[in-house]
Structure formats: structure tokens, C-alpha cells
């Protein structure tokens, strides 16, 4: 996939990903995903935080920690 493919993704640029341990697979191309905690758009190039267990993306470490605390209270 190249940058043009991401821009032409379905759902207005929203990508559908499968999150694995240390990597993700693009199931449906797009330019970004949505943070499960904050609702912020995260470009695929900037995506560094996600949960393979619950299949969610996070905008950054604060959001990832917040979700982890909610799930593991």
C-alpha cells in the first residue's frame, strides 16, 4: 500500500486495521484511525499505540494508559 491508497480508503479515509503484537494489518485502506479513548484522528504513519487484546487504537501513551487502567482497574 502507498500513500495514495490510504487517501482513497473507504469511509472518508478511515482505515480498518487488525492489531497484533508489535504490528498491525490493514484490512481496509484509509489514511487514519480513531483513538478509542479521545476520539482523535490518528494517521497511520503516526500510529504507535494500540491494544491487540481489545483491538483498539490510541492517540498516545496517556490514552493507552487510561484504557489499560480502566480494563485492569
Digit-coded pLDDT (tens) for 2-61:
444 444 444 559 999 999 999 999 999 999 999 999 999 999 999 999 999 999 999 999
**Radius of gyration of the chain, Cα coordinates, nearest whole angstrom:** 12
pTM for this predicted structure: 0.82
Q: Closest Cα partner for 30 from 67, 57, 52, 3?
A: 3
Cα(66)–Cα(70) distance, rounded to whole angstroms?
A: 6
Helix ranges restricted to H, the chain: 3-7, 10-13, 61-72
Name 52's Cβ contacts closer than 8 Å, sequence gap at least 6.
Answer: 19, 20, 21
Where do the domains of the chain lie? 3-72
Amino acid at each position: 500500500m502507498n500513500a495514495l491508497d490510504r487517501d482513497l480508503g473507504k469511509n472518508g479515509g478511515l482505515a480498518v486495521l487488525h492489531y497484533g503484537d508489535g504490528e498491525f494489518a490493514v484490512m481496509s485502506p484509509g489514511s487514519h484511525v480513531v483513538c478509542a479513548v479521545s476520539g482523535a484522528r490518528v494517521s497511520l504513519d503516526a500510529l504507535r499505540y494500540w491494544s491487540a487484546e481489545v483491538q483498539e487504537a490510541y492517540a498516545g501513551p496517556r490514552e493507552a494508559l487510561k484504557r489499560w487502567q480502566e480494563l485492569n482497574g
